[in-house]
Chain A
Amino acid sequence: MSDVPFLQVDNLSKHFRGLKAVDEVTFQVDRGEFLGIIGPNGAGKTTLFNLITGFLKPTSGRIHFRGKDITGMKPHDRVKIGIARTFQVTKPFKKFTAIENVVISALIARKHGKIREHERDFAMEVLEKVNLAHRKDTLAENLPHGEVKKLEIARALATKPELLLLDEPFSGLTGEEVESLQEVIKSIHEDGITVILIEHVLKACMALSERIIVLNYGKIIADGTPQQVCMDRQVIEAYLGKRGLEFASG
């Protein structure tokens, strides 16, 4: 409808002392896109997430969301305008039941006027969405890892986001759990939510993403469809090393 990009990241950098964790990163995300971000450990993926969600302040560069400069905005204000996230290392409210975990987000969403129904009913809907309804009264600390991962997503969904950032949702899951979660994430995207996914489990990431950005040493080294990225010399080199590249190309 408008020419304003949905998410616009311009020359974004984050330096920790001498280390350039994110180095002059520029990219755009369109509304409704499913973007995957991959890269070796320490490539700056999580730092990039923390910058987009406001948990870290950039050293330089700017972030625009729907045309609005959000570079200096607090994390909770970014949630308010529709940016939600999950954490790589899960952070459930351990002493809360599953539904209470989600109610917290729903409560804030209601205060922001994003939902009209009772927050508990809405939280229940969200739990159903991630297939956790049967666990609603279980304390988060008693949930298995795979379900905690889903709970994190439910909690983010209950903020009624337009942009959802998932930080390694598949890490530590069994093959079966990966499949079931993949379905959940796919249906969230089909509901019209723009998704950015950081992932180490490449198979799931490749299957879900329409477009993939590859980070290495804080820089974007490739940006394209999953097929394009897989064939990229630099990407293979980043993952396998120079010798690996020789092997790969036979």
Chain B
Amino acid sequence: MMAGKLSSITFLNRKLLAVLVYLIAASIIPLAVPSIYILHVLILAHIFVIYAASWDILTGYTGQLNLGHAMFFGLSAYTVAITNTMLNFPLILSVVVGVFSAFLLSLIVGIPCLRLRGPYLAITTFSFSWILFLLASSAMIWLSGGEEGVRGVRTFVVGSVPNYYLSLVLMIVSVLILYRIANSETGLILKAIKEDEDAAMACGINTTKYKLLAFILSGVFGGIAGAFYAQYMRIVTVDVVTLELSASAITFSLIGGIGTVIGPAIGAYILTILFEGFSWLADYRILIYNLIIVAFVLFLPGGLMSLREKIKAERGTGGEEGE
């Protein structure tokens, strides 16, 4: 018992230490590396961290396969852009309305999805995002601007450095909230639903309520990421509702470790930097990107978060289970 407690404390300290080191590094990067391009990549990484972590709450934790997560990101981004540029809403109001639109969408998609399981749920979420893509790319071009997008969105702060810090704070707060929820009683209940929905019901869990809660959390934080993206990029095009963006939620999480919140966040951070950093490879990036995914599925299906256990298992040490 004592040994178990001690080692879990040292492990906690190690985790805490890693977080601290990251925070210090992240805070001094703009001072140490005054490259607008690098900061731009890191800001995108911060946004996609929120995006990936929000996907994970619904799919990784609750087991509700969402193949169209870009719909929350995209709807919120478009709503911010359109209300801000065409209706001249103050930016803060646009952001509130944008996140609210993602919340409403999570209800619109979530409520019918409560009755669906497995592939039917996957197809439905995919279809909703596809509808949104079709609206933005053709049916409602008068509103979305099509390929041209909606331009001239105002921004909270001007310049890379302020946006860097703003996105950093937003990311830390969002991930912290999602992480706290995931590791609370609620998180355990969501995981039980993922493991077996009938058994969860037999335990007395109101699965309908908790699934809807997961939908809402996922949608709202996806929407927060989209809203920040709109004000930072100052332009919103169909990129925000594409299949690629929906798929990237899955790849980020797969590489980081599905069902851990932190894993998808790390996955999003690393992959965004790699993808943007190797832009000179042009389309070969997509090839390499996909090879990485295949490699992970084959050799490390638990993602980076499972690396520690895997190494421990291969060394053959029982590790820190001692009670």
Q: Name A's B-contacting residues (CB within 8 A).
A: 53, 55, 74-77, 79-80, 84-87, 91-96, 100, 103-105, 107-109, 112, 137, 155-156, 158-159
Q: Which residues of the partner chain B approach A112 to less than 8 Å between Cβ atoms?
A: 204
Interface presence of B177 (CB below 8 A) = no
Q: Which residues does chain A contribute within 8 Å of B196, judged by CB atoms? A: 91-94
Across the interface, which residues of A come within 8 angstroms of B191, CB to CB? 93, 95-96
| CB atoms of A104 and B192 under 8 A apart | yes
Q: With A104-B189, A107-B185, A107-B189 given, is the CB distance from A55 to B206 under 8 Å?
A: no
Q: Which residues of B contact A80 (CB under 8 A)?
A: 204
In the complex, are the beta carbons of A76 and B207 less than 8 A apart?
Answer: yes
CB distance from A249 to the nearest CB of B (A): 43
Closest 4 CB pairs of A and B: A79-B204, A108-B204, A93-B195, A91-B199
How does the 8 Å CB contact mask read for B187-222 relative to A, with 1 for contact and 0 for none?
Answer: 011011001101111111111100000000000000
B202 contacts A79, CB within 8 Å? yes
Between B199, B203, B206, the greatest number of chain A beta carbons within 10 A of the residue's beta carbon is seen for B203
Complex contact A100–B188 (CB within 8 A):
yes
Do residues B205 and A156 form an inter-chain contact, with CB atoms below 8 A?
Answer: no
Instruction: Indicate whether B314 reaches chain A with its CB closer than 8 angstroms.
Output: no
CB contacts (< 8 Å) of B283 on chain A: these are none
Interface residues on B, range: 20 to 34
Nearest Cβ distance between residue B234 and chain A, in whole angstroms? Answer: 44
B200-A104 in contact (CB<8A): yes
Smallest Cβ distance from B8 to chain A, in angstroms? 13
Residues of A within 8 A of B204 (CB): 76, 79-80, 105, 108-109, 112, 159
Residues on the B chain within 8 Å of A137, using CB: 321, 323
- CA A156 to CA B204, docked complex, whole Å: 9
On whether the beta carbons of B205 and A104 are closer than 8 Å, the reply is yes
Name the residue of chain B whose CB is nearest to the CB of A77: B206
Scoring B188, B201, B204 by chain A CB atoms within 10 A of each residue's CB, the highest score goes to: B204
B185 touches A93 (CB 8 A): no
B202 & A53 in contact (Cβ 8 Å cutoff): yes
Query: Which of B195, B203, B323 lies in contact with A108, CB distance below 8 A?
Result: B203
Task: Say which residue of B185, B195, B206, B323 sits within 8 Å of A76 (CB atoms).
Answer: B206
Q: What 1/0 mask marks residues of chain B from 294 to 323 whose CB sits below 8 Å from any chain A CB?
A: 000000000000000000000000000101
- The answer for the CA separation of A118 and B201 in the assembled complex, in Å, is 21
CB distance from A50 to the nearest CB of B (A): 10
Bound together, the chains give a CA A120 to CA B208 distance in angstroms of 25
On whether the beta carbons of B188 and A76 are closer than 8 Å, the reply is no
> Would A75 and B202 be within 8 Å (CB), given that A91-B196, A94-B195, A137-B321 are in contact?
yes
Q: Could you tell me the distance in whole angstroms from the C-beta of B175 to the nearest C-beta in chain A? A: 23
Closest-by-CB residue of B relative to A53 is B202
A86 to B198 CA separation, bound complex (whole angstroms): 10
Residues in A whose Cβ lies below 8 Å from that of B208: 74
Least CB distance, A116 to chain B, in whole angstroms: 16
Chain A residues closer than 8 Å to B203, beta-carbon distance: 79, 104-105, 108, 155, 158-159
